[in-house]
Amino acid sequence: MTVDTIAPHLLPTHVGMVMDGNRRWAKKAGFANPGAGHDVGADHVEDLLGWCTHWGIDHLTSYVLSADNIRKRPKSQVDHLFGILAEKLPQTVVRSDRWALHVSGDLSLLPGDAAEALRAAERKTADRPAHLTMAIGYDPHGDIVEGIRRAIAAGATEIDEQAITAALPGGPIKEIDLVIRTSGEQRLSGFFPWQTAKAEIVVSEKLWPDFTEADFAEALRSYAVGRSSAAS
């Protein structure tokens, strides 16, 4: 099976992206400030949205910033990331005209301007047909606990898998079919453990700013081959 011959029914409905390697990319490229890699990586999200649109993928979840990173990274690094969250990423989604933004995580960990920019982008894009969930201030255990709390608050008569899944933050389809991780790391790093329970995983050796549309298409091909084999 080649990229050009992937049948639409073999494509994932929901793709998860762990966009890793921004700081390593900046060091490799010779930038004095490794944070420059995060700027380039944030700009690259617009390309990712375009690739998903091209392939007819309407559900995308991306790992942006964990709660642990906010608490443990040096303040200068975190402040730089907060600036990106206040300016670049919300505007990228709003500008897309197609993607509705959902944020999963604790926005109280962010400065007020960043949190409000993200909430405003959620409001502005709420009625759009495609769904982008960004993990920001994200804690994997906290995500599941919050889903249980929401299910109870919504009056679910039985707290089962369906009730918890429906109550989790994000778009209407929560289950992630394919997770793509860049930078060669062979781990999920707490990336949506409930939603990725049945996901296929493709690891790319490319650092996120170097990850191309051809790399994305190859990950889709790998997923499609696996699905085709499982069905035969």
Catalytic residue among 20, 58, 143, 177: 20
**According to the 3-state scheme, what is the secondary structure of 32-69?**
CCCCHHHHHHHHHHHHHHHHHHHCCCCEEEEEEEEHHH
69 included as an active-site residue: yes
4 included as an active-site residue: no
Catalytic residue among 33, 69, 106, 215: 69
128 dihedral zone (left: phi>0; alpha: psi -120 to 50; beta): beta
Contact 109, 137 (CB under 8 A): yes
Contact 103, 62 (CB under 8 A): no
Catalytic residues: 20, 69
